[in-house]
Amino acid sequence: MKIIFATHNLGKVKELKQILDVSDVEVLSADEFGVHEDVVEDGETLQENSEKKARFVFEKTKEWTVADDTGIFISALNGAPGVRSARWAKENGFDQGIMQYALLRMQGVPKNKRSAYFETAVVLISSTGEEQVFVGRVNGSIVTEPRGAVRPTLPYDTIFMPEGHTRTFGEMSDQEKNQLSHRGKAFEKLREFFASK
């Protein structure tokens, strides 16, 4: 069985392959299947954006398709950046990086008011067009300065510390992060779905 991941991000494809690890499932990126266009992610929710991406690729391939969207929701910023996590800084005229903008906006916020959560919505479309949604969430807080390694396209990892831990996602190995993370939880539900088929 082939699953087309509606993304051009090879890091995400690698992560899904590691988590799924189901011998009869082959995960391919949209690019590998010849779909190179981008979808405008203008949904009001993570699920809406995931649905748009999955449906776009499904219409072109008619294969099993999966798409995800992730946001970080910071309490002290009234839930911002949320669904706009990837473009939030630029939308506000800040060109020095998303993570730097988040820290700038959080200046002066005391430690006990720095709660945040990451959420991922994964949409799966079967080859017959049926849709399933899997959601993963992890609570935590925003640290006061970046800690750990910066993962390409995952800038918030260095400032987000999951609840019950003393290290940021940036200070964890990929394997450690996958066991805890929002995306890991959503993909694990996806894995369980396939395991039960």
Residue-wise pLDDT tens digits, 133-184: 999 999 999 999 999 998 877 889 999 999 999 999 999 998 899 889 998 8
Measured CA to CA, the distance from residue 105 to residue 117 in angstroms comes to 16
pLDDT tens for each residue of 26-38? 889 999 988 998 8
Strands (E), the chain: 2-5, 26-29, 64-74, 81-82, 115-125, 131-142, 160-162
Q: What is the pLDDT, as a whole number, of residue 47?
A: 97
Residues 6+ apart with CB under 8 A from 9: 29, 153
Q: What is the pLDDT, as a whole number, of residue 129?
A: 96
Measured CA to CA, the distance from residue 35 to residue 40 in angstroms comes to 15
Which burial class, exposed, middle or buried, applies to 173 when counting CB atoms under 10 A from its CB (0-12, 13-18, 19+)? exposed
Strands 64-74 and 81-82: antiparallel
Q: What type of residue sits at position 51?
A: E
**Which CATH number goes with the domain that contains 152?**
3.90.950.10
Report the pLDDT averaged over residues 50-77: 96
Q: Please check the confidence at residue 102 and state whether its pLDDT lies above 80.
A: yes
Q: What tokens were used for 175?
A: 């394997």
Q: What is the pLDDT, as a whole number, of residue 155?
A: 87
CB atoms within 10 A of CB 140: 22
Residue 68 β-bridge partners: 122
Which residue do the tokens 């992560």 mark?
15
Measured CA to CA, the distance from residue 18 to residue 172 in angstroms comes to 16
Q: Please check the confidence at residue 23 and state whether its pLDDT lies above 70.
A: no
Q: Is the peptide bond before 155 cis (omega within 30 degrees of 0)?
A: no
Which residue do the tokens 């399933």 mark?
132
Nearest to 181 by CA among 194, 172, 192: 172
Domain count along the chain: 1
Of the listed 69, 95, 157, 174, which one is catalytic? 69
31 is catalytic: no
Main-chain phi, psi angles of 164, to 5 degrees: 85, 5
Query: In which domain, by residue range, is 44 found?
Result: 2-195
pLDDT, mean over the chain:
91
